[in-house]
């Protein structure tokens, strides 16, 4: 089995997942440098359409736990590339091996790849398209190799929930726009007295009764979601608290009049330092995004909340007068550090109290 | 959640001068890692323009080099001396976290005695109150309970009823720990309340020994929650004064709770923790450290239940530690450097990642490789030492292997230990077969890893091994992969894929040769023909996410692409490998000096070493650091890749020295003395012939292959004889036999004697003195040398001897002759570079014992005392530079004494008596205006307390008594209260030295010597054994062992006893001066 990149580079390896349908699986090849969390990452809908490369070499060691620990119902990534798949796994919570899960989810995976070399390649060339190719004959990228750009498709529509679902009971109600939501966002918001209505990405909630809005993470380019942007814009007429997470940040920014751009190779790791511009405090955050908010494009009534300590990119925005804020990283963690879980607390506190 | 606003730059603490406390002589539990942390601290302080005053008597360290700290004090790390230095230097601040427990304890004492307040010395970094909260068990538990962080439940009890109540509360099984007053005896697991009552009945039963030891303290036991078999996990946490807090590294012990971290194999990052567990423990760590208020770096240890995921915090070390040194080397994050900056008030976001130079220091390293640390034990050096491992640390060093598969790092690490093992399995050396493997897995010994290999080879399942060892099956299954492959390989086609797969599993060429009945050389050639080469990877702290300018490298077969291209005009320096008895920081010092000189001479430097507790492996010490095996295979791999100009093998001690000839035979250019000539000095036969030809005397010796021949020749040479087997089964490798009985006993027990494994016996010369010459030569011409003299007579290993420079008692004529002999050996071996020659001196007659054509243990000592950097000169000589000059090393205006640092307290059962086998783990050096001053300070620096009142004397043999009589008279004159054992007491009383007589243990008469040691408040025990027979010394052994276990100062050598007493008579404690190195050396120059 091979991983073929759009520039013609080939990485040979061995299959340990499902055989790719039709002989090969295509996607955008992205890397993540986290040392734990393959279960959470693979089930994160933000990875839809992407072939995930894990730079940590040993993968599969602790198996795969029950469904309730996933970030969505299934594996969302289009493929997985690792250096060494660990045949044996050992963990009290494990219910199956990673290979079993991949096979059951019909997701191809390849082991035996120098994932550091691959990571460096992506770093230098920027994110690339690629295919996982099971055909032993095809030795190189030829005219027949089809590289499909997942970003041309509306990935959000693919992974978003299909109909509204309600969790918990009021009095307070949060509309949670599912653009490919990680379930830990839902878990992080759930508590007594809070009703959450999880709605599809393009659901018009303007006639529904609610007290606050959360815009979730999700895959791909925010500009693929004009419906969501329009719905959020409409909601901005009222003064209800809004929290954006990851893709949700970009959507909120676009709704607020700012612009977004594609990063060269995105932020996909669990060790991204983000600095709160006001307090100068530094937080270690978990991230998975390929697009970012352009600081220069922010209208005057918005300000940068967090910046990335490594490359200075925008990691959070805040409205100067309204209760609207958003973070590019994942306060819900899973995978990754839990340092910014307080963002949910602050958001919930901002919801006006009802009896 | 609210956090305080960030402190701005104005909050920076910029003291003009800082006192840094070092860790003193290396001992078990406190080794070279503190040279690394102290050296980084000094660099971080100097960068801010702060004057650094260093107090550390360990002369073999890099941190005590003259171009680092502004003033270096080689003085005991005691209240008395620290106070004098504070008084004199008036430092504005002090750093306590960089010198291990020694520095921390001294800091606490300085604070509690009000010294810091009196002299207005500010404690930088973690506040004293936080340190106390982490050191005091009760406070620690209380503080963590405040934020709902769980610690192991524990109750103290002084009677059975209370203990049973505690047991019921906690739930069985429980761990019973006998309090300190009982010497730890009686600790163990108890499964129910009846067992508890039974066990406690024995512990609380009044026995004279115990009552005496406890000194009126009621025996107390701790009933603790039993955590045996839980996973042991550690996090290294960094926090700044503005409350930013990160976790730099997490580590998982392969050996579960119950085995000390220092005795455990450790992997980084953790391998069997899920995301939830990893981040839950991380979150708790950050919460706990914020609550405790650490500023700088600390370590937090957890027990994690393998089935439920429950956790307990075991402890927090609010200072740099062995683990933090390991974490620093494992991740590339310079923890000690960053901790120092944070102590000065910098915040994490203000600091740059000094590895990438582009990203922030406020981040958590992502690893894209796996690291395995393995402890190095050296218990075979001690007779009677117990090889079981458990809650107490016994290892003397460690290695760290880096790779991209667990199998790879495991096999690499085992080879790095340099104990003759080629890997996990497929060992040529039969020592790694373990007959009672299940026993040694269940009751772990230092050989447990080889017992596991044996069990797996015998078909025992990983599951079964896991159930008796508590090791997670994941690790054992990986180990099984290695054993399986070793079985498969001989039956395979040995094609490219098969060999490559073997290499990916960490098999060395030697192992492959062993399995396929080939040779290392043939396997290497075939491997290269098949183009199977390792790739070179960088450690960049962020798994390739950003470009990094790192020079920190490792080799792996689990990869397809090199991260670097070859360097230019490089010279390789081979490091010392793991610390062990006989090879310690002094060789790391030598390597660092060689790197510095090479760099000054515009060479690119390449360092190869496997020891994380070193300065030579710091990111800024070389142009390229390969954290790799010091094996022929690996050095060749690197040399061939780098196409280096040459290799320095003479600064890292015996491991690189042994590689000289094999490397040379493979076409490697060795700098300095020709490897053929190095071999002529190493080969006993060749060297002996050489000495004969040069007309240089040597002790008579003979090499034999049968028991009978040994016995016959021993008689001919005359007892006592020194016996040195070439193959050791167990126990020590060398022994003095005083008669036929002890000779044959030793041969039977310890060695396998055959044509292949001959035994060398030589005349053991009694009452001879030992002198050494350390020197540098260039093309067979002596350039510089220093003569040192041992206080102890021959028979004490040079590494255990008290050494004086300049020589005090050696005649000028002897020195002249030693120099002549040296010159002719240097000429004959055409030495270029460092060397060391050891002599026996009886009157003016000299015999050569051995010659090492390499840097010796004493190079930092002679360099710092004489003021000439011997390694700098040696390295220049190796580069072909002119190093001739007028070096004056004989006339010094002061005296320096080197004292050995022993770790007997840690090595249960070992006889604390100096012998032909080296037993010390470190050394200290102090200076003085006179020999007595230097000797007393040096002894104090190695932990010796000066006697105040009661001294016990027990001397075997009339000769010892007669020779010590003048010294004993001095003791009496100084009004010490003397006690002596039977014959010694009679002798002293006959010679009118008043003393109280005590009876030997075997006589069972009152007053007995044991009772005296237990409750006599002894300040010093002088026990001089005979060494003649095992039986006779049994009483002596008990006395010596008790002295160690009860922490009573002990002297076991007559010459040292004599020198010490005479020095004490001459000196007054308050006349022990506190001068810096510069103040001494300034006089000579």
pLDDT greater than 90 at residue B233:
yes
Counting Cβ atoms within 10 Å, is residue B565 exposed (0-12), middle (13-18) or buried (19+)?
exposed
Which residue in B275, B362, B405 is closest to A39 by CB distance? B275
- Residue B872 corresponds to which tokens in the numbers above? 């700098």
Please answer yes or no on whether A90 and B472 come within 8 Å at the CB atom.
Answer: yes
Q: What is the pLDDT of residue B795?
A: 86
Establish whether A246 is a catalytic residue.
yes
Q: How far is A293 from chain B (nearest CA, A)?
A: 20
User: Which chain A residues are closer than 8 Å to B332 by Cβ?
Assistant: none
Q: Chain B residue with minimal CA distance to A111?
A: B558
- Residue B814 corresponds to which tokens in the numbers above? 């002897």
Q: What is the pLDDT of residue B209?
A: 38
Where does the pLDDT of residue B14 fall: very low under 50, low under 70, confident under 90, or very high at 90 and above? confident
Decide if B360 touches A, using CB distance below 8 A: yes
Find residues 398-457 of chain B whose CB sits inside 8 Å of chain A. 404-406
B981 vs B1002: CA distance, rounded Å:
12
Decide if B347 touches A, using CB distance below 8 A: yes
User: Which chain A residues are closer than 8 Å to B404 by Cβ?
Assistant: 57, 83-84
- Residue B235 corresponds to which tokens in the numbers above? 């996090």
B253 vs B472: CA distance, rounded Å:
10
Please answer yes or no on whether B362 and A338 come within 8 Å at the CB atom.
Answer: no
Find residues 478-497 of chain B whose CB sits inside 8 Å of chain A. 478
Please answer yes or no on whether B369 and A57 come within 8 Å at the CB atom.
Answer: yes
Scan for tokens 């006599």, then name that residue. B1016
Where does the pLDDT of residue B988 fall: very low under 50, low under 70, confident under 90, or very high at 90 and above? very high
Q: What is the pLDDT of residue B593?
A: 98
**In whole angstroms, how far apart are CA B699 and each of B398, B702, B721, B839, B841?**
36, 10, 10, 10, 11
What is the mean pLDDT of the segment spanning B343-351? 93
B187 vs B176: CA distance, rounded Å:
5
Q: What DSSP designation does A114 have? A: -
**In whole angstroms, how far apart are CA B55 and each of B19, B124, B280, B902, B1083?**
7, 16, 40, 20, 20
Q: What is the pLDDT of residue B179?
A: 56
Q: Chain B residue with minimal CA distance to A312?
A: B359
Q: What is the pLDDT of residue B145?
A: 96
Which residue in A115, A116, A282 is closest to B362 by CB distance? A282
pLDDT greater than 60 at residue B100:
yes
Q: What DSSP designation does B6 have? A: P
Angle at B1064 between CA B1058 and CA B1067, to 5 degrees: 140
User: Which chain A residues are closer than 8 Å to B537 by Cβ?
Assistant: 116
Backbone phi and psi for residue B974, each to the nearest 5 degrees, phi listed first? -80, 10
Please answer yes or no on whether A281 and B244 come within 8 Å at the CB atom.
Answer: yes
Which residue in B246, B275, B283 is closest to A36 by CB distance? B275
What is the mean pLDDT of the segment spanning A17-32? 91
Which of the pair, A169 or B1068, is modelled with greater confidence?
A169
B416 vs B376: CA distance, rounded Å:
9
The predicted-structure confidence for B467-491, as pLDDT tens digits, reads as follows: 999 999 999 999 999 999 999 999 9
Q: What is the pLDDT of residue B732?
A: 57
pLDDT greater than 50 at residue B778:
yes
Q: Which of the residue ranges B362-371, B501-510, B555-564, B1007-1016 would you say has the lowest mean pLDDT?
A: B1007-1016
Please enumerate in sequence order all residues whose Cβ is within 8 A of that of B1024, keeping only pairs 6 or more positions apart, or say none.
Answer: B954, B955, B956, B957, B960, B964, B1052, B1053, B1054, B1057
pLDDT greater than 60 at residue B445:
yes
Q: What is the pLDDT of residue B217?
A: 43
Q: How far is A68 from chain B (nearest CA, A)?
A: 13
Determine how β-strand A282-293 pairs with β-strand A260-276.
antiparallel
> What's the full length of chain A, in residues?
355
pLDDT greater than 80 at residue B951:
yes
Decide if A345 touches B, using CB distance below 8 A: yes
Q: Chain B residue with minimal CA distance to A121?
A: B544
Decide if B461 touches A, using CB distance below 8 A: no
Decide if A147 touches B, using CB distance below 8 A: no
Where does the pLDDT of residue B1062 fall: very low under 50, low under 70, confident under 90, or very high at 90 and above? very high
Determine how β-strand B624-627 pairs with β-strand B604-609.
parallel
How high does pLDDT run on average in chain B? 91
Decide if A352 touches B, using CB distance below 8 A: no
Which residue in A88, A116, A338 is closest to B477 by CB distance? A88
Please answer yes or no on whether B405 and A58 come within 8 Å at the CB atom.
Answer: yes
Please answer yes or no on whether B404 and A57 come within 8 Å at the CB atom.
Answer: yes
Where does the pLDDT of residue A142 fall: very low under 50, low under 70, confident under 90, or very high at 90 and above? low
Q: Chain B residue with minimal CA distance to A310?
A: B359
Q: What is the pLDDT of residue A148?
A: 84
Please answer yes or no on whether A33 and B273 come within 8 Å at the CB atom.
Answer: no
Please answer yes or no on whether B368 and A34 come within 8 Å at the CB atom.
Answer: no
Angle at B855 between CA B24 and CA B943, to 5 degrees: 20
Find residues 558-597 of chain B whose CB sits inside 8 Å of chain A. 558-561, 563
Which residue in B247, B271, B544 is closest to A119 by CB distance? B544
Where does the pLDDT of residue B848 fall: very low under 50, low under 70, confident under 90, or very high at 90 and above? very high
Where does the pLDDT of residue A138 fall: very low under 50, low under 70, confident under 90, or very high at 90 and above? low
The predicted-structure confidence for B389-428, as pLDDT tens digits, reads as follows: 888 888 999 999 999 999 999 999 999 999 999 999 999 9
Q: What is the pLDDT of residue B549?
A: 81
pLDDT greater than 80 at residue B206:
no
Q: At what angle do helices B100-112 and B33-46 cross, to 10 degrees?
A: 60
Which residue in B306, B542, B558 is closest to A83 by CB distance? B558
Where does the pLDDT of residue B210 fall: very low under 50, low under 70, confident under 90, or very high at 90 and above? very low
Q: Which of A179, A246, A274, A319 is catalytic?
A: A246
Find residues 609-638 of chain B whose CB sits inside 8 Å of chain A. none
Where does the pLDDT of residue B1030 fall: very low under 50, low under 70, confident under 90, or very high at 90 and above? low
Scan for tokens 């599809």, then name that residue. A200
Counting Cβ atoms within 10 Å, is residue A64 exposed (0-12), middle (13-18) or buried (19+)?
buried
Q: Which of B579, B582, B640, B643 is nearest to B609 (CA)?
A: B579
User: Which chain B residues are closer than 8 Å to A33 by Cβ?
Assistant: 366, 368, 542-545
Which residue in B242, B359, B559 is closest to A117 by CB distance? B559
Where does the pLDDT of residue A259 fall: very low under 50, low under 70, confident under 90, or very high at 90 and above? very high
Q: What DSSP designation does B388 have? A: B
**In whole angstroms, how far apart are CA B384 and each of B442, B555, B904?**
21, 40, 12
Q: What is the pLDDT of residue B222?
A: 82
Please answer yes or no on whether A55 and B349 come within 8 Å at the CB atom.
Answer: no
Q: In a mutagenesis test of the A interface, which of B243, B506, B543 is the best target, namely the one with the most A β-carbons within 10 Å?
A: B543
Q: What is the pLDDT of residue B6?
A: 40
pLDDT greater than 90 at residue B203:
no
Q: Are B66 and B72 in contact (CB under 8 A)?
A: yes
Which residue in A69, A114, A310 is closest to B359 by CB distance? A310
pLDDT greater than 80 at residue B8:
no
Q: What is the pLDDT of residue B765?
A: 84
- Answering whether pTM is above 0.90, one says yes
Establish whether A28 is a catalytic residue.
no
Q: What number is the ipTM of this complex? A: 0.95
pLDDT greater than 50 at residue B366:
yes
Please answer yes or no on whether A273 and B360 come within 8 Å at the CB atom.
Answer: yes
Q: Which of B327, B328, B288 is nearest to B311 (CA)?
A: B288
pLDDT greater than 80 at residue B1028:
no
Q: Which of B634, B644, B566 is nearest to B603 (CA)?
A: B644
The predicted-structure confidence for B795-841, as pLDDT tens digits, reads as follows: 888 899 999 999 999 889 999 999 999 999 999 999 999 999 999 99
Establish whether A225 is a catalytic residue.
no
Scan for tokens 């005397």, then name that residue. B697
Decide if A167 touches B, using CB distance below 8 A: no
Decide if B117 touches A, using CB distance below 8 A: no
The predicted-structure confidence for B628-647, as pLDDT tens digits, reads as follows: 999 999 999 999 999 999 99
User: Which chain A residues are closer than 8 Å to B359 by Cβ?
Assistant: 309-310
Q: What is the pLDDT of residue B180?
A: 42
Which residue in B274, B363, B544 is closest to A284 by CB distance? B363
- Residue B665 corresponds to which tokens in the numbers above? 């035979």
pLDDT greater than 90 at residue B751:
no
Q: Chain A residue with minimal CA distance to B243?
A: A281
pLDDT greater than 50 at residue A24:
yes
Please answer yes or no on whether A281 and B545 come within 8 Å at the CB atom.
Answer: no
What is the mean pLDDT of the segment spanning A302-306? 97
Please answer yes or no on whether A123 and B544 come within 8 Å at the CB atom.
Answer: yes
In chain B, the percentage of residues whose pLDDT exceeds 90 is: 72
pLDDT greater than 90 at residue B741:
no
What is the mean pLDDT of the segment spanning B896-912? 89
């Amino acid at each position: 089995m091979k991983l073929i990149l759009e520039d013609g580079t080939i990485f040979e390896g061995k299959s340990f997942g499902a055989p790719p349908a039709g002989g090969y699986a295509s996607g955008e090849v992205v890397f993540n440098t986290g040392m734990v969390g393959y279960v959470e990452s693979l089930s994160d809908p933000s990875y839809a359409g992407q072939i995930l490369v894990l730079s940590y070499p040993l993968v599969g060691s602790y198996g795969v736990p029950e469904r309730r620990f996933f970030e969505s119902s299934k594996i969302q990534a289009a493929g997985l590339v690792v250096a060494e798949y660990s045949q044996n796994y050992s963990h009290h919570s494990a219910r199956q091996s990673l290979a079993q899960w991949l096979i059951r989810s019909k997701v191809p995976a390849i082991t035996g790849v120098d994932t550091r070399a691959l990571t460096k390649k992506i770093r230098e060339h920027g994110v690339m398209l690629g295919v996982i190719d099971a055909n032993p004959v095809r030795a190189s990228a030829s005219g027949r190799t089809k590289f499909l750009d997942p970003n041309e498709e509306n990935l959000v529509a693919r992974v978003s929930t299909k109909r509204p679902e309600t969790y918990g009971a009021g009095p307070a109600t949060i509309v949670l726009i599912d653009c490919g939501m990680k379930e830990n966002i839902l878990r992080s918001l759930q508590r007594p007295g809070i009703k959450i209505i999880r709605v599809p990405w393009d659901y018009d909630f303007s006639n529904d009764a609610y007290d606050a809005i959360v815009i979730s993470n999700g895959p791909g380019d925010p500009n693929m979601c004009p419906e969501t942007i329009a719905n959020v814009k409409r909601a901005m007429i009222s003064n209800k608290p809004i929290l954006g997470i990851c893709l949700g940040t970009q959507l909120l920014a676009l709704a607020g009049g700012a612009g977004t751009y594609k990063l060269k190779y995105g932020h996909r790791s669990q060790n991204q330092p983000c600095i709160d511009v006001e307090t100068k405090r530094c937080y270690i955050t978990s991230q998975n995004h390929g697009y970012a908010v352009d600081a220069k494009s922010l209208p005057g009534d918005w300000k940068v909340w967090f910046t990335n300590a490594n490359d200075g990119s925008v990691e959070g925005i805040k409205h100067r007068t309204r209760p609207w804020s958003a973070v590019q990283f994942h306060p819900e963690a899973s995978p990754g550090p839990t340092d910014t879980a307080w963002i949910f607390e602050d958001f919930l506190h901002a919801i006006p109290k009802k009896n | 959640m609210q956090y305080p606003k960030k402190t701005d730059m104005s909050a920076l603490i910029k003291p003009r001068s800082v006192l840094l406390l070092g860790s003193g002589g290396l001992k078990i539990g406190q080794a070279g890692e503190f040279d690394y942390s102290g050296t980084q601290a000094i660099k971080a302080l100097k960068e801010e323009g702060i004057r650094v005053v260093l107090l550390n008597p360990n002369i073999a360290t890099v941190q005590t080099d003259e171009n680092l700290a502004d003033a270096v004090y080689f003085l005991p790390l005691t209240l008395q001396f620290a106070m004098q230095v504070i008084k004199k230097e008036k430092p504005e601040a002090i750093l306590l976290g960089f010198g291990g427990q020694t520095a921390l304890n001294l800091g606490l004492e300085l604070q509690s005695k009000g010294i810091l307040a009196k002299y207005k010395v500010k404690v930088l970094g973690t506040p004293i109150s936080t340190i106390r909260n982490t050191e005091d068990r009760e406070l620690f538990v209380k503080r963590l309970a405040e934020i709902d962080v769980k610690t192991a439940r524990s109750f103290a009890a002084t009677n059975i009823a209370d203990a049973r109540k505690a047991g019921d509360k906690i739930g069985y099984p429980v761990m019973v720990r006998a309090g300190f007053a009982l010497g730890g005896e009686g600790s163990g697991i108890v499964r129910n309340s009846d067992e508890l009552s039974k066990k406690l009945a024995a512990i609380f039963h009044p026995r004279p020994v115990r009552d005496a030891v406890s000194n009126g303290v009621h025996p107390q036991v701790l009933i603790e929650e039993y955590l045996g078999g839980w996973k042991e996990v550690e996090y290294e946490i960094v926090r700044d004064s503005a409350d930013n807090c990160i976790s730099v590294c997490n580590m998982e012990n392969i050996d579960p709770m119950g085995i000390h971290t220092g005795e455990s194999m450790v992997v980084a990052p953790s391998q069997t923790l899920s995301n939830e567990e990893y981040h839950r423990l991380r979150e708790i760590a950050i919460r706990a450290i914020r609550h405790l208020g650490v500023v700088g770096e600390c370590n937090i240890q957890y027990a994690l239940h393998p089935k439920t995921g429950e956790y307990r915090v075991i402890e927090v070390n609010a200072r740099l530690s062995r683990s933090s040194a390991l974490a620093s080397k494992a991740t590339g994050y310079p923890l000690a450097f960053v901790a120092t900056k944070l102590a000065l008030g910098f915040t994490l976001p203000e600091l740059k990642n000094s590895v990438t130079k582009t990203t922030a220091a406020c981040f958590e390293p992502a690893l894209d490789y796996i690291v395995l640390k393995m402890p190095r034990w050296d218990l075979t050096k001690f007779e009677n030492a117990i090889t079981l491992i458990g809650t107490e640390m016994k290892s003397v060093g460690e290695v760290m292997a880096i790779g991209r598969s667990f199998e790879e790092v495991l096999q690499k690490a085992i080879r790095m230990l340099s104990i003759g093992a080629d890997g996990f399995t497929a060992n040529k050396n039969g020592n790694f077969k373990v007959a009672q493997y299940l026993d040694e897995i269940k009751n772990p010994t230092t050989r447990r890893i080889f017992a596991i290999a044996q069990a797996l080879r015998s078909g025992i399942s990983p599951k079964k091994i896991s159930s008796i060892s508590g090791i997670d099956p994941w690790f054992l299954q990986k180990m099984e992969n290695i054993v399986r492959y070793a079985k498969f390989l001989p039956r395979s086609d040995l094609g490219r894929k098969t060999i490559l797969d073997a290499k990916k599993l960490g098999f060395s060429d030697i192992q492959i040769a062993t399995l396929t009945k080939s040779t290392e050389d043939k396997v290497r050639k075939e491997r290269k023909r098949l183009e199977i080469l390792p790739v070179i990877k960088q450690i960049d702290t962020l798994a390739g996410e950003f470009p990094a300018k790192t020079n920190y490298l490792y080799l792996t077969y689990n990869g397809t692409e090199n991260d670097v291209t070859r360097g230019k005009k490089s010279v390789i320096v081979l490091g010392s490998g793991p610390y062990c008895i006989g090879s310690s920081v002094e060789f790391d010092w030598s390597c660092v000096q060689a790197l510095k000189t090479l760099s000054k001479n515009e060479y690119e430097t390449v360092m190869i070493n496997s020891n994380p507790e070193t300065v030579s492996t710091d990111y800024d010490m070389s142009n390229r650091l390969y954290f790799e095996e010091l094996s022929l295979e690996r050095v060749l791999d690197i040399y061939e890749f780098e196409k280096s100009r040459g290799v320095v093998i003479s600064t890292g001690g015996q491991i690189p020295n042994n590689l000289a000839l094999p490397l040379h035979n493979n076409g490697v250019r060795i700098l300095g003395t020709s490897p053929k000539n190095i071999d002529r000095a190493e080969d006993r036969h060749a060297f002996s012939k050489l000495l004969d030809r040069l007309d240089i005397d040597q002790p008579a010796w003979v090499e034999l292959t049968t028991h009978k021949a040994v016995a016959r020749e021993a008689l001919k040479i005359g007892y006592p004889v020194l016996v040195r087997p070439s193959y050791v089964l167990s126990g020590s490798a060398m022994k003095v036999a005083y008669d036929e009985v002890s000779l044959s006993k030793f041969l039977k027990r310890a060695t396998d004697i055959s044509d292949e494994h001959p035994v060398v016996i030589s005349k053991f010369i009694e009452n001879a003195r030992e002198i050494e010459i350390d020197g540098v030569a260039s093309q067979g011409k002596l350039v510089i040398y220093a003569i040192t003299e041992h206080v102890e007579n021959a028979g004490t290993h040079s590494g255990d001897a008290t050494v004086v420079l300049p020589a005090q008692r050696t005649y000028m004529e002897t020195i002249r002759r030693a120099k002549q002999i040296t010159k002719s050996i240097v000429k004959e071996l055409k030495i270029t570079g460092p060397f060391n020659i050891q002599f026996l001196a009886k009157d003016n007659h000299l015999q050569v014992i051995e010659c090492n054509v390499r840097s010796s243990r004493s190079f930092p000592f002679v360099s710092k005392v004489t003021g000439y950097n011997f390694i700098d000169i040696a390295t220049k000589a190796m580069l072909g530079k002119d190093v001739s000059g007028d070096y004056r090393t004989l006339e010094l205006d002061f005296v320096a004494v080197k004292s050995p640092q022993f770790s007997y307290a840690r090595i249960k059962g070992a006889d604390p008596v100096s012998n032909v086998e080296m037993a010390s783990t470190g050394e200290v050096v102090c200076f003085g205006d006179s020999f007595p001053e230097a000797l007393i300070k040096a002894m104090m620096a190695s932990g010796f307390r000066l006697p105040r009142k009661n001294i016990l004397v027990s001397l075997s043999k009339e000769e010892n008594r007669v020779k010590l009589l003048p010294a004993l008279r001095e003791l009496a004159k100084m009004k010490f209260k003397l006690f002596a054992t039977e014959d010694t007491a009679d002798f002293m009383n006959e010679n009118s030295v008043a003393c109280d007589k005590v009876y030997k243990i075997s006589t069972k008469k009152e007053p007995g010597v044991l009772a005296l040691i237990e409750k006599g408040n002894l300040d010093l025990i002088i026990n001089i054994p005979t060494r003649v027979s095992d039986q006779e010394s049994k009483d002596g052994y008990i006395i010596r062992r008790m002295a160690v276990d009860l922490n009573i100062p002990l002297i076991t050598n007559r010459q040292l006893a004599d020198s010490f007493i005479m020095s004490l008579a001459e000196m007054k404690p308050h006349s022990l001066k506190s001068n810096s190195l510069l103040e001494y050396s300034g006089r000579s120059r």
